[in-house]
């Protein structure tokens, strides 16, 4: 008998959503065959069979949110007899996952409120915890909700409520942490990219693998991070930790939210190899085919809003990293927005970094051949 569990891909992943079952109870399963698909906040992960046998019993349904390391199904070898006691024990998992996914609902129900008050609050999108009840034992009445609405002058109805899950949920958590806990500031600078544009045009006219402007920026960042290693770092446990490897994350907008896959060991890669990897991970991100390992080990991040006609903006640092570079709409000049963690890096160092990066992009021949 094999227990099928939600895999723990890394320390930050605590839960996953069961997206799809590929097998039904009683069906035969081959070793290595995909039996389920789950989504963590970082990626969609396929769960494969550890052996050949029968899909004996499942304990959770599609759409459920489950803690990692939780048993979600049992596979049996052919002709294996499984005791009812063991199945009964494992079936308690379903009760646990239902409790896990309903914590917020149970907390809401602890608030004493009349049914009419709850209904009105739900229609208007009101959190009952903000309302003081005037009914028996402090219960919230419909009149209390109406008075609250009048004070807030909220004369609209909620058209749709979208609960954050998966990628969007964790993005919200991480960006909130970044904004609230990191004293960050942003430097802006425009770079003359006349030569980059000409070289790129000439190369793309002759090569099958086209270079994007971001490829030049990535290659220039490698030189800048080598010269200023304090930016290729993380900050944790009150310690500024400089990292040997240069692993740059690229922020990519997908239908399910923002993801940041990482191109690793950039110190060893030439610009054409960088371009090939960047194109591949972008395609995989848009097709939702990235694996958890594709998001690990980032030491710096780049984000690009140029295609959306944005010039300058304020990118938020991706913790525990200490800096992030924003790229804007390119014409004869390229707008750059550079956000820095002020706990460990001063403005002068940030200005020097941005100046050096600009010099590399303004004279790009070195980026091609070295």
Task: Kindly report the CATH number assigned to the domain that includes residue 351.
Answer: 3.30.559.10
Q: Answer yes or no: is 213 within a domain.
A: yes
The pTM is what?
A: 0.66
Asked if the structure places residue 171 within a domain, the reply is no
The pLDDT, as a whole number, for residue 128 is 84
Do 220 and 298 have their domain in common? yes
Q: Percent of the chain scored above 90 by pLDDT?
A: 47
Answer with the residue of higher pLDDT: 338 or 268: 338
Residue 24 has pLDDT above 60, yes or no: yes
Do 41 and 136 lie in one domain? The reply is no
Question: Is pLDDT of 281 > 90?
Answer: yes
Q: What is the pLDDT at residue 105?
A: 47
Does the structure show a pLDDT above 60 at 102? no
pLDDT at position 363 over 80: yes
Residues 262 and 274 in one domain: yes
Candidates 90, 93, 85; CA nearest to 68 is 93
Instruction: Please tell me the predicted confidence (pLDDT) of residue 22.
Output: 92
Question: Same domain, yes or no, for 345 and 268?
Answer: yes
158 part of a folded domain: no
pLDDT of residue 328: 97
Q: Which of 58, 77, 101 is the last residue of a domain?
A: 101
- Are both 234 and 97 inside the same structural domain? no
Is residue 335 in some structural domain? yes
Q: Give the pLDDT confidence of 58-90 residue by residue, as tens digits.
A: 888 888 888 888 888 889 888 777 765 665 555
| Same-domain check for residues 311 and 347 | yes
**Domain check: are 125 and 28 in the same one?**
no
pLDDT at 109 over 60: no
Band of the pLDDT at 135, cuts 50, 70, 90?
Answer: confident
Q: Mean of the per-residue pLDDT values for the chain? A: 86
Q: Does pLDDT of 342 surpass 60?
A: yes
- 28 within a domain of the structure (yes/no): yes
148 and 26 in one domain? no
Q: Is the pLDDT of residue 100 over 50?
A: no
Distance of CA 311 to the CA centre of its chain: 24
Our count of domains for the chain comes to: 3
| H-run or E-run covering 122 | helix 115-124
Report the CATH number that the domain containing residue 140 is assigned in CATH.
Answer: 4.10.320.10
208 and 62 belong to one structural domain: no
DSSP letter, residue 25 = T
CATH number at residue 97: 2.40.50.100
Residue at token pair 């789950």: 38
84, 101, 118 - which closes a domain: 101
Domain that holds residue 247: 180-369
Cα separation, 90 vs 97, in Å, equals: 12
Does residue 167 contact residue 155 with C-beta atoms inside 8 Å? no
Q: How far apart are CA 265 and CA 142, in angstroms?
A: 61
Tens of pLDDT, residue by residue over 113-126, are 888 888 888 887 78
Q: Is the confidence at residue 11, as pLDDT, over 60?
A: no
Q: What is the pLDDT of residue 91?
A: 53
Number of residues assigned to the chain: 370
Report how far residue 204's alpha carbon sits from residue 154's, in angstroms, rounded to the nearest whole number: 55
Inside any domain, residue 167:
no
For residues 248-262, average pLDDT: 92
**Rounded CA gap, 211 and 272, in Å?**
7
pLDDT of residue 99: 45
What pLDDT is stored for residue 277 in this prediction? 96
Same domain as 144, residue 20: no
Can you tell me the mean pLDDT for 315-320? 95
231 found inside a domain: yes
Tokens of 348: 């002068």
Q: What is the pLDDT of residues 214-247, one digit of tens each?
A: 999 999 999 999 999 999 999 999 999 999 999 9
**Largest Cα–Cα distance in the chain?**
80
Q: Let me know if residue 160 belongs to a domain.
A: no
Give me the helices (H) in 212-270, please: 213-227
pLDDT greater at residue 314 or residue 138: 314
Shared domain for 303 and 326, answered yes or no, is yes
Q: Which residue has the higher pLDDT, 32 or 6?
A: 32
Across the range 94-106, mean pLDDT stands at 45
Query: Same domain, yes or no, for 97 and 111?
Result: no
Between 25-29, 105-109, 145-149, 278-282, the lowest mean confidence (pLDDT) is in 105-109
């Amino acid at each position: 008998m094999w227990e099928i569990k939600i895999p723990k891909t890394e320390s930050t992943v605590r839960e996953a959503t069961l997206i799809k079952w590929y097998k039904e109870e009683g069906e035969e399963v081959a070793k290595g065959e995909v039996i389920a698909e789950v989504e963590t906040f970082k990626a969609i992960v396929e769960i494969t069979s550890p052996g050949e046998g029968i899909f004996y019993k499942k304990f959770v349904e599609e759409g459920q949110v489950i803690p990692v390391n939780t048993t979600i199904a049992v596979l049996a070898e052919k002709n294996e007899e499984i005791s009812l006691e063991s199945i009964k024990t494992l079936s308690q998992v379903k009760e646990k996952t239902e409790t896990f996914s309903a914590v917020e609902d149970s907390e809401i129900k602890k608030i004493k409120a009349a049914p009419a008050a709850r209904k009105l609050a739900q229609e208007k999108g009101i959190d009952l915890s903000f309302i003081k009840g005037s009914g028996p034992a402090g219960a919230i009445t419909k009149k209390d909700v109406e008075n609250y609405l009048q004070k807030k002058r909220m004369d609209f109805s909620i058209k749709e409520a979208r609960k954050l899950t998966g990628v969007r949920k964790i993005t919200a958590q991480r960006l909130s942490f970044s904004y609230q806990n990191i004293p960050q500031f942003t430097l802006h600078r425009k770079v003359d990219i006349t030569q980059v544009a000409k070289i790129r045009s000439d190369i793309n006219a002759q090569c099958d693998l086209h270079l994007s402007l971001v490829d030049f920026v990535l290659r220039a960042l490698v030189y800048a991070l080598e010269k200023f290693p304090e930016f290729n770092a993380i900050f944790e446990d009150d310690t500024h930790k400089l990292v040997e490897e240069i692993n740059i994350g690229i922020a990519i907008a997908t239908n399910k939210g923002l993801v940041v896959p990482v191109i690793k060991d950039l110190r060893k890669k030439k610009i054409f190899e960088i371009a090939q990897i960047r194109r591949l991970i972008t395609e995989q991100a848009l097709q939702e085919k990235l694996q958890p390992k594709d998001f690990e080990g980032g030491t710096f991040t780049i984000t690009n809003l140029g295609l959306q006609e944005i010039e300058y903006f304020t990118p938020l640092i991706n913790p525990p990293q200490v800096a992030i570079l924003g790229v804007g709409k390119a014409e004869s000049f390229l707008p750059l927005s550079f956000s820095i963690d002020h706990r460990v890096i001063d403005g002068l160092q940030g200005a020097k970094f941005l100046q050096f990066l600009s010099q590399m992009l303004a004279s790009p021949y070195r980026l091609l051949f070295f």
